[in-house]
A and B are shown apart, each in its own frame.
Chain A
């Protein structure tokens, strides 16, 4: 194993149990700088729990999570976000009562304290950045629309945009193409391929076609443990993976 300090994110012997049930069991996972990692696995394998652990939503029972060699498992969610980790949820999690513009503006990583927000000045630089992101997520023509009127796919993009504007070093996406049409999927794959530059991305996905179109490395989780890890070919050839996941 390479020197530990090379990894952007390192999970070591991470265990989390809910009332005795070990959702994640002695898990080791290392993410490199600039890597795109896809996590697959059957339902209940602990995929979403792993993301919850990294972003501080769930506290681990034992083990350690280091981001750039700093232990983050004791930090609060917003502190982890400020360290440079962004998280997209499975169901679109956006502010429905605000406009697309305001959704992106709120996600801009400045004015995060009470008085900073109260005396917030919508500077040109911020407007420009919002426009730039909106362009990337195909919503440039919808900035003034209330977010609740967007289609499901557009909401997913908006949430990805809200992460992008934070410019995180590590981006975690939980089923980004779930519920999308075929054309939306293609656009999302293109979007992901542009945004993965200069950052590491962890994606949870079920859609194997989509996985094949984006993946560098794949980790297969099963019952809270890593079952297999490697490139797509290796995963396809793995008999245990076939048995628990790909086979059916």
Chain B
């Protein structure tokens, strides 16, 4: 059964295959290890953009605090890596060997209790998912059950990202403060720093990203996806169709936070550190822009948006560093004013119909734009 907004399923699949070909084949073959690692870093942001497609594009929940979940995922991973890098042998010059260096600098003499479980990789991997998800659950449950939504939700999530940054910076002895957690070396004994490891991590990142896209697609094409659209459209009516709207919003917000957290963990692994500058207001809003430019109604579009903007950012800031913020601001305004459905929308609404018309003209057939009758 075809329908209005999911009717572009064939485009979706083509876009997915093109994206997979691009990141799995084209880029690894054409870029050097340094550039490929940069792409890997951009791809970690696109996990966040994917989550925003789910909760903002489809459900209408704008979150300006996705950096918090990205950061929590990243910090969980960084805590494990840091503990592994802080073995007694590696840190014997410290006054308390065996604890992370920044703790030692801050006169902390024993590993804090909540750091201890992060010595286990299994626990860490579970925490990467569950810690951000739990936080998202508490926040969204409290708000959506009270029917706080729209711009109020956006403001509170933004406040959350500010609070989180201040907390991390303020608790320097426990979090590494403004410098973040740096000097990460090995994952279960496997050195993550050489180029060969980075290439493997890049492919892991790609695989996870493609998996998340497929999972997102599964959610959006299920009945739940249509309920999300209905909530965006007429929240009240959904209640009067017998649904508990808050539960659906909590679910999709938690899923978006999990996507962001996976991105954060992959960021830590590929870039080799995590710091509060990826948690705060600015990165959180940047991630919304990635999603908006790519197309907030398209999963693949959001990934493309994250890649393109970051590519532009690197390009621009290598040559005109002071102009970059203006360029991005201008781009965002242009998107909102001129093509609110983003690049993906531009492609499916403008370019594809044009291509179709061209094909029809060539084959001499008549345009078939009349509404299709019921089966």
Q: Is A18 an interface residue (CB 8 A)?
A: no
Which segment, of B65-73, B168-176, B239-247, B268-276, faces chain A?
A: B239-247
Q: Is B229 an interface residue (CB 8 A)?
A: yes
Chain B residues closer than 8 Å to A81, beta-carbon distance: 239-242
Identify whether the interface residues of B are mostly helix, strand, loop, or mixed. helix
Q: Is B330 an interface residue (CB 8 A)?
A: no
Size band of the interface chain A makes with B: 35 or more
**CB of A64 to closest CB in B, whole Å:** 22
Inter-chain contact total with CB atoms closer than 8 Å: 112
Chain A residues closer than 8 Å to B237, beta-carbon distance: 89, 93-95
Would you call B234 and A95 a contact (CB within 8 A)? yes
Would you call B242 and A119 a contact (CB within 8 A)? no
Would you call B374 and A102 a contact (CB within 8 A)? no
Q: Is A157 an interface residue (CB 8 A)?
A: no
Size of interface on B: residues with Cβ below 8 Å to A? 34
Task: Tell me, in angstroms, the Cα distance from A76 to B238 when the chains sit together.
Answer: 13
Task: Tell me, in angstroms, the Cα distance from A231 to B321 when the chains sit together.
Answer: 80
Which segment, of B1-9, B191-199, B277-285, B311-319, faces chain A?
A: B1-9
Would you call A93 and B230 a contact (CB within 8 A)? no
Q: Mark A94-106, 1 if CB is under 8 A from B, else 0.
A: 1111110110011
Give B98-129 interface residues, CB cut-off 8 Å to A: none
Task: Tell me, in angstroms, the Cα distance from A95 to B251 when the chains sit together.
Answer: 21
- Chain A: residues with CB nearer than 8 A to chain B? 55, 57, 76-78, 81-82, 86-87, 89, 93-99, 101-102, 105-107, 109, 111-114, 117-120, 122, 134, 140-146, 149, 162, 166
Can you identify 29 A-B contacts, CB atoms within 8 angstroms? A76-B239, A77-B239, A77-B240, A78-B239, A78-B244, A81-B241, A81-B242, A93-B234, A93-B240, A94-B234, A97-B4, A99-B3, A99-B4, A102-B226, A106-B238, A106-B241, A112-B242, A114-B224, A117-B223, A117-B224, A117-B227, A118-B224, A120-B222, A120-B223, A134-B374, A141-B373, A142-B371, A144-B373, A146-B3
- Chain B: residues with CB nearer than 8 A to chain A? 1-5, 219, 222-224, 226-227, 229-230, 232-234, 236-245, 247-248, 251, 371-375
